Chains A and B, each alone.
Chain A
Amino acid sequence: MTKKLALFIDEDLCWGCDACELACKQENHLSEGSRWIRVRTKGVQRVNGKLKLTYSPARCVQCTHPPCQEVCPVKAITQRSDGIVLIDSNGCIGCKKCIEACPFGVMQFNQEKGVAEKCHLCYHRIDQGLKPACVDVCIGRCIYFGEMAELVNRYGERRWLSGRNGNERTTGL
């Protein structure tokens, strides 16, 4: 069986600098409004009497059983044997059902083309033996790419679902 690939992000080490967002935009030629990886934060919180500031880079986690795939009426969403979930932009009819179905709120909509899109782990790079564009640009060195089993083993499941609790980032800093 092919090994599942994934990105792991250690949120404790994320500085919130937005470099991953820009590296992704450049690599995947994204227009405004489409943010395949997006640094979210709830801002400064008081936790057990202490102030806390956490940044959560949200992106598609390449679900094992993707809800987006299940709801797509035209079967434009497929999953590769390495786990990467792909959207066929030629097949997508822009119905946005997948956007509603995504439990992490990371599915994006390309206004110009009228199609859904999202992080695909830069599969065009991976297939050439490179890492996704967001990995090496990070000064916090908090984005790891590899086999899911190994990453889970090394870092635990604790922070897999980044983005679920992160509020929409509205305030920039």
Chain B
Amino acid sequence: MIGLGGQDEKILRSHCRICHGGCGVLVYVKEGRVTKIEGDPQCPINRGTLCPKGIASLQLVYHPNRLLYPLKRKGPKGGGGWEKISWEEAYDLLVSKINEYKNGYGAESIVLGYGTGRDNESFIYRFANLLGTPNVLTAGHMCYGPRVSTSIITCGNLPVCDYEGNPKCIMVWGNNAIISNPDEYKGLYLSDALAKGAKLIVVDPRFTKLADRSDLWLQLRPGTDVALALGMLHVIIEEELYDKEFVGNWIYGWNEFVDRVKEYPPQRVSEITWVPEEKIREAARLFAKTKPACIQWGVAIEQSINCVDNNRSLIALAAVTGNLDVPGGMVFYVPPPVMNASQFGLHRLLPPEQRKKRLGGEVFKLADAFAIINPRFVWEAILYEKPYPVKMVFLISSNPIMTRANASMVYEALKKVEFLAVSDFFLTPTAEMADLVLPSATWLEMDYVAEIWKRHGYALARQKVIQVGECKSDHEMLLELGNRLGQKEYWWPTLREALNAILAPSGLTFEEFLEIGHLQGKMEYRKYLKKGFSTPTQKVELYSTRMKEWGYDPLPKFREPPESPISRPDRVKDYPYILITGMRPTAFFHSEHRQIPWLRELLPEPLVEIHPETAEKEGIKEGDWVVIESPRGRCYQRAKLTLGIDPRVIGAQHAWWFPEKEAPEHGWKESNINLLTDNDPSTCDPAMGATNLRVLMCRVSPKKD
């Protein structure tokens, strides 16, 4: 407790987790109820600010439809019938099912899963590794995982824009850090840097507010990011704008890299990307000549067949301009002295023979090296029992019917799987398909040493301020289940002891940690001067020795998106537009929050962005319900006409369902853009298995009723 508010009101300090988390908050509690949530002015991450979702957590915790106790299916699967059970009964059922499948089909027949993760990832991996299953289904193949894994094989760690070091030029690449969580710094730092006068280059097919504020906006053809980056590198190399000393000392494979870049002269890149040649040159010069400079990048360019090479080419831009690990450039944060998520995950305890069974591991080798799988392989193992049957799926904070590509296939798989357990806040369309549903605690109902998986240099104190129903944190649930499954040796009797173990290297107990609020690693720049980069050659591998080992192209290159007017001219007649999906609203985090009144008011219905010329051609007016169709399916969203998108491109929102509509479907088929997306492995990134959610072909028409 840090003080008193009004009468009988306590103020507690914690860290928000309504999205991917990290903002410090003050929570006001009166008579055991949260009354108010404010940004914590003392938290260095958000300094008193807070987003709409964080504030609306108040309506999340006390939502009348929240799951308050465990539920067991009654009647047919997906039939909407439930029976209230105790936690003891729920654990007994889980233990018996897990033992049944492990003994009958091997631990690999049990898949653990999370979506973006609710800061429960390291507990889930620990549980899975101790159980012996190599199959943890995450979003890691197409979100953050690629950034981390590509960075590690290229330059040893994830380079992050160092806003505190005062960048003079920021290149925001396929990212809207202002309204979505970029994981390390929050939008406040970007906003402050711009207020201080940093130059801004924005690469985005949509005209966002960031584009409005930019010095240069590069409106590229969706899916061509790596070509654009290589085109900029071409200019930088041709005009000798690179940092010769850094390149001479610290780049591995420079000559091979230069030869590859030569294949991307601005004229060719302009044809590929739609960005005028002069703008490519201008952006390259501005970025290379303004020091220090950094790149704010994110998930959009990862959900692509070019995922790994998009990331590699951006790292190359930062590296050759001498911006790696320098103040205001792109830096490697130093973690605080606590056990990190990877250590906690106990990956080393997964037996090698089990690791070899990881679904799709022999196909997507970069993903396999980081314990990440592509979802398609799970659905196939359920539906066709190949290469072996998956009998049980245990989803902990995940709603794949809304958020995974090819929603029809996901639905069929979840319908077929013998035992589906889901831990969540509400009966989502996915939870409605379950055999067992567990009521998960929100961030206001849990103790945790938070966000130690992010490469941002912090460990944050999250504390339990209330208890709602019989809800339990996923950490506590997995610890208790692990203890019941004979994993006792590797767990602790209580969660508090587990948290103390995570904190042990710092010498703090959890109580002491709560008093401090957060721990921060001591930042050092240019660490490579002492110990090189943590890669096989100790240099920045623009020519990747690991990729070569695995049989992939060691150099980045542009691949035409698998479904575009160029790769599939045969489809242009029926599907004349490029469809991009997943544009972020301020109100929601993926499939969450549509039942929260304050947030739903901000955005009551799904929107599809269409250029006015295109709308006129297709007979669509502002606010019309529009049918969006791809070769795989269709859904409906409302037309938002905007000059901020190219007339050849359509921009749809993702993860829309309608909690207020009738159970068990809750309207999941109506506006779900993932009925249109593809999950065929040939359309995914060859090394990472990243699903191509972002660039498809579509047609649009007014919905007739």
Contacts and interface: CB of A to CB of B under 8 A. Distances in A.
Nearest to B46: A139
Max chain B C-beta neighbours (<10 A), residue from A19, A32, A52, A170: A19
A23 interface: yes
A173 B607 contact: yes
A26 B37 contact: yes
A21 B209 contact: no
Given A44-B642, A53-B644, A139-B188, A22 B52 contact: yes
Contacts of B192: 141
B50 interface: yes
Contacts of B599: 22
A46 interface: yes
A33 B601 CA distance: 8
Contact of B52 (A19, A27, A52, A173): A19
A172 B55 contact: no
Interface in B189-235: 191-192, 195, 207-209, 211-212
A171 interface: yes
Interface in A126-173: 136-141, 170-173
A123 interface: no
A140 B191 contact: yes
B640 interface: yes
Given A26-B55, A26-B58, A46-B643, A173 B49 contact: no
B587 interface: yes
Contacts of A57: none
Contacts of A13: 191, 195
Contact of B643 (A22, A44, A137): A44
A55 interface: yes
A105 interface: no
Interface in B16-70: 36-39, 41, 48-52, 55-56, 58
B637 to A, nearest CB: 11
A172 B587 contact: yes
A53 to B, nearest CB: 4
Given A26-B37, A53-B207, A53-B209, A141 B642 contact: no
B583 interface: yes
Contact of A16 (B209, B609, B643): B209
Contacts of A32: 597-598, 601
B647 interface: no
Contacts of B186: 139
B187 interface: yes
B191 A51 contact: no
A140 B192 CA distance: 8
B585 interface: yes
B614 to A, nearest CB: 14
Contacts of B39: 136-137
Nearest to B219: A51
A59 to B, nearest CB: 16
A52 B640 CA distance: 17
A17 B55 contact: no
B261 to A, nearest CB: 31
A18 B187 CA distance: 13
Contacts of A103: none
Contacts of A46: 643
B342 interface: no
A111 to B, nearest CB: 13
A43 B602 CA distance: 15
A137 B50 contact: yes
A45 interface: yes
B583 A173 contact: yes
B191 A139 contact: yes
Interface of B: 36-39, 41, 48-52, 55-56, 58, 178-179, 186-188, 191-192, 195, 207-209, 211-212, 583, 585-587, 597-599, 601-604, 607, 609, 622-623, 640-644
List the 9 shortest-distance A-B pairs measured between CB atoms, nearest first: A44-B644, A172-B603, A22-B52, A22-B55, A53-B212, A139-B188, A44-B643, A171-B640, A18-B52
